[in-house]
Structure 1
Amino acid sequence: MPHPTCQPSRHLAILIMMWVLSTAGCASLPDTQDILARHSVQAAQFESARGPVSARRSAAIVAELKRTAGDLDILDKQIALEQAINDSPLVLGNQVTLLQDGPATYAAMLAAIADAQDHINLESYIIEDDATGQAFAQALLTKQRQGVQVNLIYDSVGSLTTPRQFFDELASAGVAVLEFNPVNPLASRGGAWLINNRDHRKLLVVDGRTAFLGGINISNVYSSGSVIHRPSKTSTADSAWRDTHIQIDGPVVAEFQKLFLQTWDKQRGKTLMPKNYTPVLAPAGKDIVRAIGGTPDDPYSLVYLTLISAISNAEKQVFLTNAYFVPDPQLMQALVDAAARGVDVRLILPSYSDSALVFHAGRAQYGRLLQGGVKIFERQGALLHAKTAMIDGVWSTVGSSNLDWRSFMDNDEVNAVILGRDFAAQMSAMFALDQAASHPIDAQTWAARPLQFKLKEWLARLWERWL
């Protein structure tokens, strides 16, 4: 697993254990072509703070999106597919704020926590007992003492080296603490011991009105942000981390709240204190958002199918930024096919990683992608940990999902899909900054790389299903 903790100090033994214990029963990657072929174009359906929107207004919304971004098939086809596979609505009236790197994200999250009046629901793969983790712990304890109920989910593997005392202190103050799929089988709460199913989500919902999600865990590694001018490194020990998060205010927050509560119930957490978890939500902006949650319990990965569909429907650009790139054959084919259609397909990937296996397994695919016309850039000067996409200047996604088998088959993940030109323009500008800080990979130079790299890539590919 490339990111049991997203830090190099964690042990390979976790990887080996999870591989050995992986058994049948995991979700499978869907036959995307078959599913896409079964869903013809249908009228878009939106919801507002007041409920479902009329067919006439829904059609007008799509027409306006096309007018501002071009005559894009992606809107009709993608909306139809998302509606068919996902019960989460496409919700109007939201304000989405793009947050780049740890400092800006932590400042916004801590400000929202400080303003909480009713409850705080926090779900994170990693919560470290360091300066950042303590800052969040003290903020949560302060609100709990003020009568704001705090509910916390942390992943057992992601937070494996966090001392038990850290969570016990929160629990003793009244915080409801839930360990996701404990590593210790004796702590399992009934049913199968699902060591391979990890909660990779990073989700904060405050008062049921504001949500934060993306790639940023609670750890000091994000505290310095990314520094474009910093020279490239081969070690992650003191590296800056480059990541992306978003803040969402508006009616769609109810859908992210639902995902948190579903996880709590699935993990058999204790009955939550009665609070106003479903407040009436007023419009907060003009952004159109869909919440997409994925778990191994689903018949297939909703995040995976949504992304491949968006790439397959692209007409102009596919801009992907991702930390752990271990694509399956269908994702590879979707990228190459898009480039063959004349779509400008660009990938920004890490130039070094906290997981050598993932890094080299991803690089093993460069040759075919470059030959197929896909442009690849490796981010310099910071450890890339972001998971974002912008397609055709109108469709964007930010979330926790990597482009690897583990995210699509074994993890609980959460992404937001945002429709609209304004937010896509912000995503495009962010992509341009990352590309400017990246090294382009040339096909001829790549083909002539040293044999030792080719051997590492071949060996890493043997593990790619478990990365």
Structure 2
Amino acid sequence: MSAHWTKGNAFKLLENGEEFYPRVFEAIREAKKEVMLETFILFDDKVGQELRASIISAAERGVRVDMLVDGWGSADLTPAFIDGMTAVGVSFHVFDPTSKLFGVRTNPVRRMHRKIVVIDGEIAFVGGINYGLDHLAEFGPEAKQDYAVEIRGPVVDDIHQFVRMALAPVKPKRWWQRRSKRLKSLPAGENGTASAALVTRDNVDHPTDIEQHYRIAIRAAKSEILLANAYFFPGYRLLRDLRRAAKRGVRVRLILQGEPDMPIAKLAASMLYDYLLSAGVQIFEYCQRPLHGKVAIADDEWSTVGSSNLDPLSLSLNLEANVMIRDAAFNRVLRDNLQQLIDNHCKQIKPNERPRRKIYRTFIGVVVFHFLRRFPAWVSMLPTHKFTLTTAEPPVQELSHEQQREREIVG
């Protein structure tokens, strides 16, 4: 596990598409040199079209634009949607694209699940929000509850370099070589007071980094752990750390899905309720709409926001990115937001209100528990393939009648 912590950063919490999209689109419209964007899902809807228009406008005024989408999450984008961007110079990349087999996507695991935007190497956005109408309240009861952060400060340089390497791998400079110029022009404290680190997960060099940072924070917590996560099905070690924290007197609260977008997510998490409740962990189900957030705080300083769920896909298969933050002010903002969810839109799960477990459910619970315990080892034995990153070619421009005659004459 490795992470490079920097001081002097500033973070702004962005809740749902209502706060996230306007800031991202504004930053793209104001970009002077470069826009780099990674997302798992990009839909061709109202939100996707506005992002596309912002991207096209930036490229037309000479801004270099690189976009990366996942081949599974964004498989339904049409050639016309993509061609409109590549025609003006946008470099549009697709992670691990595969053709559908009988109309079914065949690459549902090992996905590029990150959501990152970097503008001119100066502003970054990291979180769990994709680009689709389902992240806006106007979508209706199925609109998602989610979070991202706007970031300024030295950690943006780390995020910028990471995305650049993901899109166009080159031999990297040593960290002191690529940071020295920026640190001289951007002294700690100019933007903010937060210490921060970008922590990523991949299937080669950093397979457990995000999980390890969670576990370190949980084990170090003295008074409080508050965690909101959409798909909660973590490994045995993280579950054990949560139980031990609660048993030593830490107030451990989990906000999980009560109105899931995928029912299996709630079913899987509920299998763990008795194990956690018996140790004193408090569980709240968010019931206003589907929870899609991946955030947490510990005590009065540590927090995290990012793309990583606490389930087997995110912890053992997907490519993920979270920012780890040490800042009391941001911690308070995130805590207050999550507390409002608990106070106004959550139902607490009480041990004495849980129905008596039937024998078959007890058996299933034991199987699930041991599956969690051994899943990381098992998944490492799954066959893998070399990921591909394809770049969409710009559309072929049709020649006018005069151009065709001129070509024939020259030929």
The TM-score range, normalised by the shorter chain, is 0.7 to 0.9
Q: CA deviation at 1:326?
A: 0.6
Residue pairs, 1:68-467, within 5 angstroms: 85-86=1-2, 88-184=3-99, 196-224=109-137, 238-265=141-168, 280=182, 282=186, 283-298=190-205, 300-436=207-343, 437-448=345-356
Matched to 1:254, the amino acid is: D
Contact 2:195 2:326 in 1 (8 A): yes
Write out per-residue CA displacement over residues 334-371 of structure 1, whole angstroms, 9 at most, x where no aligned residue: 10000011000000001021222222111100011001
Cα 1:425–1:218 change in 2 (3 A) is same
Mark the runs of 5 or more structure 2 residues left unpaired by the alignment.
Answer: 101-105, 171-177, 380-411
Q: Aligned with 1:117: secondary structure?
A: coil
Cα 1:383–1:455 change in 2 (3 A) is farther
Matched to 1:314, the amino acid is: A
Matched to 2:35, the amino acid is: I
Cα 1:162–1:114 change in 2 (3 A) is same
Write out per-residue CA displacement over residues 217-247 of structure 1, whole angstroms, 9 at most, x where no aligned residue: 000001228xxxxxxxxxx974231111100
Matched to 2:217, the amino acid is: A
Contact 1:125 1:154 in 2 (8 A): yes
Q: TM-score, normalised by structure 2?
A: 0.80
Query: For 1:222 and 1:287, how far apart are their aligned partners in 2?
Result: 28
Q: CA deviation at 1:196?
A: 2.9
Cα 1:299–1:421 change in 2 (3 A) is closer
Matched to 2:332, the amino acid is: A
Q: CA deviation at 1:319?
A: 0.5
Contact 1:208 1:278 in 2 (8 A): no
Query: For 2:363 and 2:260, how far apart are their aligned partners in 1?
Result: 18
Q: CA deviation at 1:165?
A: 2.6
Query: For 1:336 and 1:361, how far apart are their aligned partners in 2?
Result: 18
Query: For 1:286 and 1:259, how far apart are their aligned partners in 2?
Result: 23
Cα 1:463–1:368 change in 2 (3 A) is closer
Matched to 1:157, the amino acid is: W
Contact 2:260 2:289 in 1 (8 A): no
Query: For 1:380 and 1:456, how far apart are their aligned partners in 2?
Result: 25
Query: For 2:179 and 2:292, how far apart are their aligned partners in 1?
Result: 31
Write out per-residue CA displacement over residues 149-185 of structure 1, whole angstroms, 9 at most, x where no aligned residue: 1100000011122223322221122100110111249
Cα 1:456–1:161 change in 2 (3 A) is farther
Cα 1:426–1:380 change in 2 (3 A) is same
Q: CA deviation at 1:207?
A: 0.4
Q: Aligned with 1:384: secondary structure?
A: coil
Q: Aligned with 1:306: secondary structure?
A: helix
Query: For 1:398 and 1:443, how far apart are their aligned partners in 2?
Result: 29
Q: CA deviation at 1:195?
A: 6.5
Q: Aligned with 1:198: secondary structure?
A: coil
Cα 1:147–1:141 change in 2 (3 A) is same
Q: CA deviation at 1:214?
A: 0.6
Contact 1:92 1:286 in 2 (8 A): yes
Query: For 2:207 and 2:301, how far apart are their aligned partners in 1?
Result: 25
Query: For 2:162 and 2:354, how far apart are their aligned partners in 1?
Result: 42
Q: TM-score, normalised by structure 1?
A: 0.71
Mark the runs of 5 or more structure 1 residues left unpaired by the alignment.
Answer: 1-84, 186-192, 226-235, 269-275
Q: Aligned with 2:222: secondary structure?
A: coil
Matched to 2:264, the amino acid is: L
Q: Aligned with 2:261: secondary structure?
A: coil
What does residue 16 of structure 1 align with? Answer: none
Q: How many pairs align?
A: 357
Query: For 2:23 and 2:358, how far apart are their aligned partners in 1?
Result: 45
Contact 1:324 1:362 in 2 (8 A): yes
Matched to 1:260, the amino acid is: V
Q: CA deviation at 1:394?
A: 0.8
Contact 1:361 1:457 in 2 (8 A): no
Cα 1:163–1:449 change in 2 (3 A) is farther
Matched to 1:349, the amino acid is: L
